């Protein structure tokens, strides 16, 4: 038994254990002990909006090796509805996924998708983007909904704000977020020991002092994990890095740290460097459906004319069944012809790429060489083709 396995065993019933630290950076390798198995961190979570990761089967997700995926509470609450999912004993039974699921609170979707919304102290009322029907999300209802979903990790309802608002607006959103987090915790404590783990979410928009205040208030609740919300919402990379570093430094070392909504290798490297353990984003699967593939030398845009008829694998360094079997020219043809197989194969590749990328990130942390890995990775990315 090696050192890492020993440490894992010692971790016992704890949710999260740091197994190794990079040393030169704040990057760390850890393990999450969840209801449906262990998850090594840093981890990228594919997004399964409608109880399905778009264009990829659960069998393929298992084959790639994902053991934690994200589900959107807002979407499955609206369709098929909690009653249907309750009838299957939760999202795992409904979607036949026997590994871990993290669900978000639906807050971000209410603020980005619903055609109408109104925040009150009680919660947020909104109309469905599907049929216009009226709904109310309260912190209590959202925790209970995620309990019905059987989520392994659940998130509290928060107020998401875009960049460019006033300090007063940001403060008001922060205060509501803290008050809702307290109510969420109370409901969560009432669920009993079998419930998923509730994380706290730090907000504060792009005001450093408000980030500090939010962190302090959320950390006081001593929830099992901490998320940094409100980043990657259109701000500059420098603004992202600055606030990420500042907020991450305030977080206790022993808890898992999750930055919501990031999914490019570059952003993930920045986050890992700052000691972040978990990430999710639709980006890898969304660009796949538009014919854009991650590769070791930069993004490959299949529809570009120069890729017509190209008899080369998409990424010669990739071991996925798509790169081993198909050529750039054939994949381009599938997208030009509007064949569903194009998005299917591109999605498989991009998810395999992300999984493999995080495997390498963890390996570099284990070898105390994360900074060198990051530098080498970025310098090999020579632009789009």
For residue 341, state whether it binds its own copies (rule: CB under 8 A).
yes
Whether residue 38 lies in the annotated active site? no
The two tokens of residue 97 are 């996924």
Nearer to its own copies, 238 or 311 (CB): 311
Q: Which of 22, 152, 158, 280 is catalytic?
A: 280
Q: Is 89 left (phi over 0), alpha (psi -120 to 50) or beta?
A: left
Nearest to 170 by CA among 179, 181, 162, 158: 162
Distances (CA, A) of 265 to 145, 158, 333, 354: 32, 27, 27, 8
Min separation Cβ 84 and its own copies, Å: 4
Task: For 252-267, give the DSSP string.
Answer: -TTS-EEETT--SHHH
- Peptide bond before 42: cis, by omega within 30 degrees of 0? yes
For residue 94, state whether it binds its own copies (rule: CB under 8 A).
yes
Hunting for tokens 């959320």 — which residue is that? 218
Q: Nearest 10 degrees: CA dihedral of 332, 333, 334, 338?
A: 110
For residue 378, state whether it binds its own copies (rule: CB under 8 A).
no
Nearer to its own copies, 174 or 344 (CB): 344
For residue 1, state whether it binds its own copies (rule: CB under 8 A).
no
Stretch that binds its own copies, among 30-38, 47-55, 171-179, 214-222 (CB under 8 A): 47-55
Min separation Cβ 151 and its own copies, Å: 17
Stretch that binds its own copies, among 157-165, 168-176, 324-332, 369-377 (CB under 8 A): 324-332
Query: What is the Cα–Cα distance from 353 to 351, expressed in whole angstroms?
Result: 5
Nearer to its own copies, 79 or 253 (CB): 79
Whether residue 152 lies in the annotated active site? no
Nearest to 31 by CA among 45, 20, 22, 23: 20
Phi, psi values for residue 349, rounded to 5°: -60, -50
Residue of 24, 136, 189, 340 interacting with its own copies (CB under 8 A): 340
Residue of 238, 311, 319, 382 interacting with its own copies (CB under 8 A): 311
For residue 62, state whether it binds its own copies (rule: CB under 8 A).
no
For residue 50, state whether it binds its own copies (rule: CB under 8 A).
yes
For residue 115, state whether it binds its own copies (rule: CB under 8 A).
no
Residue of 2, 12, 59, 238 interacting with its own copies (CB under 8 A): 59
Query: What is the Cα–Cα distance from 158 to 143, expressed in whole angstroms?
Result: 12
Stretch that binds its own copies, among 4-12, 89-97, 169-177, 219-227 (CB under 8 A): 89-97
Q: Which of 22, 67, 104, 277 is catalytic?
A: 104
Min separation Cβ 78 and its own copies, Å: 10
Nearest to 283 by CA among 262, 298, 269: 262
The answer to whether the CB of 157 falls within 8 A of the CB of 111 is no
Contacts of 222 (CB under 8 A, 6+ apart): none
Active-site residue numbers? 104, 280
Residues that bind its own copies (CB under 8 A): 50-59, 75, 79-80, 83-84, 87-88, 94-96, 308-309, 311, 321, 325-327, 329-330, 333-334, 336-337, 339-341, 343-345
């Amino acid at each position: 038994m090696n050192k890492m396995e020993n440490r894992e065993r010692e971790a016992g019933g704890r949710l999260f254990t740091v197994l190794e630290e990079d040393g030169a950076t704040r990057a760390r390798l850890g393990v999450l002990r969840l209801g449906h198995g262990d998850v090594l961190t840093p981890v990228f979570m594919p997004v399964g909006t409608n109880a399905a990761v778009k264009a990829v089967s659960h069998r393929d997700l298992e084959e790639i090796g994902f053991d934690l995926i994200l589900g959107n509470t807002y979407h499955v609450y609206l369709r098929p509805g909690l009653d249907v999912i309750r009838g299957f004993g939760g999202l795992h039974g409904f979607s036949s996924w026997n590994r871990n699921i993290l669900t978000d609170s639906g807050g971000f979707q209410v603020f980005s998708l619903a055609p109408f919304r109104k925040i009150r102290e009680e919660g947020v009322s909104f109309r469905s983007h599907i049929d216009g029907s009226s709904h109310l999300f309260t912190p209590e209802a959202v925790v209970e909904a995620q309990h019905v979903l059987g989520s392994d990790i659940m998130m509290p309802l928060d107020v998401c704000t875009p960049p460019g608002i006033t300090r007063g607006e940001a403060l008001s959103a922060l205060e509501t977020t803290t008050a809702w987090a307290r109510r969420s915790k109370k409901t969560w404590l009432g669920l009993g020991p079998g419930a998923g783990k509730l994380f706290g979410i730090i907000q504060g928009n792009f005001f450093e002092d408000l980030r500090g205040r939010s962190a302090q208030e959320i950390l006081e609740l001593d929830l099992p994990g901490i998320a940094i919300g409100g980043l990657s919402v259109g701000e500059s990379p420098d603004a992202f890095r600055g606030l990420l570093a500042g907020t991450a430094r305030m977080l206790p070392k022993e808890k898992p740290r999750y930055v919501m909504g990031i999914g490019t290798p570059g952003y993930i490297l920045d986050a890992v460097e700052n000691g972040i353990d978990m990430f999710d984003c639709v980006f890898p699967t969304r660009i796949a459906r538009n014919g854009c593939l991650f590769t070791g030398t930069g993004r490959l845009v299949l529809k570009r004319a120069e890729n017509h008829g190209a008899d080369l694998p998409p990424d010669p360094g990739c071991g996925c069944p798509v790169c081993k079997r198909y050529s750039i020219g054939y994949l381009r043809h599938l997208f030009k012809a509007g064949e569903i197989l194009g998005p299917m194969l591109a999605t498989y590749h991009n998810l395999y790429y992300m999984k493999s990328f995080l495997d390498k990130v963890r390996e570099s942390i284990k070898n105390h060489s994360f900074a060198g890995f990051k530098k080498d990775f970025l310098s090999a990315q020579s632009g789009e083709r």
